[in-house]
Amino acid sequence: MKQGRLRVLGALVLTAGLSPFAAKPAAAQAKPVLGKLAGVVRDTAGTPQMGANVELVPELAPVAAPHNWLTNTQGIFQGNKLVPGLYTLRVTLAGFLPTLEEHIRVNPNLTTVVRVELESMYATLDQLRRTPSNAPSNRDDWKWVLRSAASVRPVLEWMDESGSASAALHADTRNLGVPRLRMEFTDGALRAASPSNIASAPATAVAYDQKLGGASSLLFAGQMSYDQDAPGGGIASVWLPSGTLGAGPHTALVLREAKIGPDGPSFRGVRLDQGGALALGDRLLLRYGGEYVLVGLGTSASSLRPRAELNYRVSQDWFAEFVFASMPTGPAPLEATDRQTGAMLTSALNELDAFPALLMRDGRPVLQNGLHEEIAADRKIGARGVLQFSGFHEDNRHIAVYGLGGDTLPGADYFQDYFSKGFAYDGGASSNWGARVAFRRKLQGETEFTALYSYASVLAPGNDLDNLLREVLQTAPRHSLGAGISARVPHLGTKFHAGYKWISGSAVSRLDGYGESLYQMDPYFHLTVRQPLPKWALGRWEAIADCDNLLAQGYVPTSSRDGHIVLVPSFRTFRGGLSVQF
């Protein structure tokens, strides 16, 4: 049974007019003096959870019968007339791990108040529960979401009955300072050479978090480009019944449209994503989902992309994973459950850029597509680290290969990017096996270190120059080694993520693309910076900069029947600007 995190608070209630020296009839003395219990159930983001089942079981069976309650719309439950003694509290709710706390004492004439924090079953291993920026840092409170966690020490607090436990719980559920609106003013794009991604041009993006009835939320996001020759934009909506992304089911709908140059066709796309989780006992968790993508560029192309992940807790420190996913993977909201920092709004904006790459094959559009199967074992290293061993198989049907060439390339299989000399190319099909070893550890404060080793096959150019480019490319085994660090600079508040991934030889396709997405480990040197700015105009401003392959490494000159070109596993790109949250 997953041990939960409870902060147990007692409330001392003095009964008016009660005198310890007053004489009582014998019958009255024989009747036990009862106590009370009140509590609030929230998720890790602080959102109250309605409809949670709360079961209170006495640890001494003859004392009293079990009690059951359901939380209301504020996540609150209350129980009166409880026989004093020790109890075990168990809280369950669909989409969350069961929470269990033993030895909760109910005393006579006292109201014991408990705060229950449910942890998501839908969060990934590498998703960390972060302390809100407006709260003091507590190193002992850091924990891994989903897999396991260090126990949180109980905190005792006494409260007068005149101050009503229910009123205190209502006040405690208020989530102040949470951003509801985010705007970004940027230029550039991190992924080029495909119209299914946001174009490399000045643009404005907006995301809004709308609370619905109960705990559910609806996220809206929109983006618009200002380029007159190739305007584009998109809208996205994400429905969260549980109110927190990564803590339950979600449904996302994304629409994109962009004009490919002043005289080119228009790209139109729609993506529908649905996901959920199912607990099978106390040790087994099934996460499932899928997306349907339909795009049009003269003619249409579609793709159905399922995914599933089975997690099994072998012991307190060991976990097993079985993964089946479509490639490339969609957006991975690493901090999506952190509503306080506005990461849910950022995740909604990421949905706009989550289409697979659009490629051309024999003059017709196709979508980058493949399947990834993986088995992994995770080992906790103390309370702050995790080590993963995994083996995987990838079966790619359409591999996206990018490169640099002239304004016009021969053949109908090269899709030229309007904003640069880059192009996207269908590298064909391939199948390979691979292995990965990853280590992630939380250091002091908000610093986190990641190391990653992968071995797999990639596409690399061969020596047969008389064939088409697709026939020149061959699979070749490669090693890769990467390291990354995420941190927050004290006093300045600067948040950054820097990493470098080395590859043992030439490669024109991604090596372990699933691991790259999971651990934010792009090829070569990459850097992300978020710098808070002085507060003005009623919002929280910050400068943003996202850089990929800053040293322009890995470019591979290649010759084929189509001519001489340069293939690029990762473009050197920059995206920067300002963002503001309200």
Give how many domains the chain has, as a whole number.
Answer: 2
Question: Domain of 123?
Answer: 5-172
Parallel/antiparallel/unpaired status of strands 473-488 and 495-503? antiparallel
Mean pLDDT of 145-168: 36
Radius of gyration of the chain (CA): 27
Residue 328, preceding bond cis, omega within 30 degrees?
yes
pLDDT tens, position by position, 69-80: 988 878 899 888
Task: Give the distance, in angstroms, between the CA of residue 242 and the centroid of all CA atoms in the same chain.
Answer: 15
Please indicate, yes or no, whether residues 159 and 187 belong to a single structural domain of this protein. no
Please indicate, yes or no, whether residues 462 and 439 belong to a single structural domain of this protein. yes
The confidence band for 97, taking pLDDT boundaries of 50, 70 and 90, is confident
Distance CA 269, CA 251 (A): 17
Tokens of 336: 């999506």
In the predicted structure, residue 128 carries a pLDDT above the cut 60: no
Q: Which one of 144, 172, 200 terminates a domain? A: 172
CATH of the domain at 39: 2.60.40.1120
Distance CA 115, CA 522 (A): 40
Residue 211 confidence (pLDDT): 84
Distance CA 463, CA 506 (A): 13
Please indicate, yes or no, whether residues 541 and 571 belong to a single structural domain of this protein. yes
* Closest-CA residue to 295 (of 368, 400, 371, 362): 368
pLDDT tens, position by position, 239-253: 988 776 665 788 999
Residue 137 confidence (pLDDT): 39
Residue 545 confidence (pLDDT): 95
Give DSSP secondary structure letters for 511-530.
Answer: SSHHHHHHHT--SEEEEEEE
Amino acid at 54: V
Residue with tokens 């660090």: 485
In the predicted structure, residue 100 carries a pLDDT above the cut 90: no
Ranges of beta strands (E only) in 346-472 are 358-361, 364-367, 369-381, 385-398, 400-404, 414-416, 422-426, 430-442, 448-461
Is 129 in contact with 55 (CB distance < 8 Å)? Answer: no
Residue with tokens 């998703």: 127
Parallel/antiparallel/unpaired status of strands 110-118 and 35-43? parallel
Q: Which one of 147, 172, 197 terminates a domain? A: 172
CATH of the domain at 298: 2.40.170
Parallel/antiparallel/unpaired status of strands 369-381 and 414-416? unpaired
Q: Which one of 172, 191, 211 terminates a domain? A: 172
Amino acid at 403: G
Residues in the chain: 582
Strand order in the sheet with 35-43: 5-12, 110-118, 35-43, 76-82
Is 114 in contact with 6 (CB distance < 8 Å)? Answer: yes
Please indicate, yes or no, whether residues 245 and 347 belong to a single structural domain of this protein. yes
pLDDT tens, position by position, 278-295: 878 778 888 899 999 999
- Could you give the 3-state DSSP secondary structure of residue 582? coil
Is 494 in contact with 479 (CB distance < 8 Å)? Answer: no
Mean pLDDT of 104-123: 78
In the predicted structure, residue 23 carries a pLDDT above the cut 70: no
Please indicate, yes or no, whether residues 102 and 186 belong to a single structural domain of this protein. no
pTM over 0.75: no
Mean pLDDT of 204-222: 87
Residue 98 confidence (pLDDT): 83
Please indicate, yes or no, whether residues 188 and 160 belong to a single structural domain of this protein. no
Residue with tokens 């040293």: 551
Residue 300 confidence (pLDDT): 92
Mean pLDDT of 159-171: 46
Residue 247 confidence (pLDDT): 58
The confidence band for 565, taking pLDDT boundaries of 50, 70 and 90, is confident
* Closest-CA residue to 462 (of 452, 449, 476, 483): 476
Distance CA 526, CA 548 (A): 5
Please give the share of the chain, as a percent, with pLDDT higher than 70.
79
In the predicted structure, residue 115 carries a pLDDT above the cut 50: yes
Please indicate, yes or no, whether residues 166 and 207 belong to a single structural domain of this protein. no
Please indicate, yes or no, whether residues 42 and 132 belong to a single structural domain of this protein. yes
Q: Which residues of 495-513 are buried (b: 16+ CB within 10 A; e: fewer)?
A: bebbbbbebeebbbbbbbb
Tokens of 358: 């659009």
Residue 447 confidence (pLDDT): 92
Residue 165 has φ and ψ, to the nearest 5°, of -60, -35
Residue 274 confidence (pLDDT): 92
Give the residue with greater pLDDT, 536 vs 524: 524
Distance CA 291, CA 301 (A): 14
Please indicate, yes or no, whether residues 146 and 188 belong to a single structural domain of this protein. no
Residue with tokens 């020490």: 153
Mean pLDDT of 132-147: 35
Is 409 in contact with 433 (CB distance < 8 Å)? Answer: no
In the predicted structure, residue 166 carries a pLDDT above the cut 70: no
Residue 276 has φ and ψ, to the nearest 5°, of -165, -175
Please indicate, yes or no, whether residues 135 and 256 belong to a single structural domain of this protein. no
In the predicted structure, residue 156 carries a pLDDT above the cut 50: no
pLDDT tens, position by position, 379-416: 999 888 999 999 999 999 999 999 987 555 666 788 88
- Could you give the 3-state DSSP secondary structure of residue 345? helix
Three-class SS string for 496-507? EEEEEEEECCCC
- Average pLDDT taken over every residue of the chain: 80
Residue 308 confidence (pLDDT): 94
In the predicted structure, residue 316 carries a pLDDT above the cut 90: no
Tokens of 297: 């560029």
Distance CA 133, CA 153 (A): 21
Distance CA 295, CA 274 (A): 18
Distance CA 425, CA 364 (A): 12
In the predicted structure, residue 512 carries a pLDDT above the cut 90: yes
Contacts 24+ apart (CB under 8 A), 463-467: 465/559, 465/560, 465/561, 466/561, 467/560, 467/561
In the predicted structure, residue 547 carries a pLDDT above the cut 70: yes
Please indicate, yes or no, whether residues 351 and 428 belong to a single structural domain of this protein. yes
Give the residue with greater pLDDT, 270 vs 96: 270
Residue 372 confidence (pLDDT): 95
pLDDT tens, position by position, 34-69: 888 999 898 877 788 888 889 888 877 555 578 889
Mean pLDDT of 316-321: 92
Please indicate, yes or no, whether residues 98 and 193 belong to a single structural domain of this protein. no
pLDDT tens, position by position, 439-457: 999 998 789 999 999 999 9
Residue 534 has φ and ψ, to the nearest 5°, of -55, 140
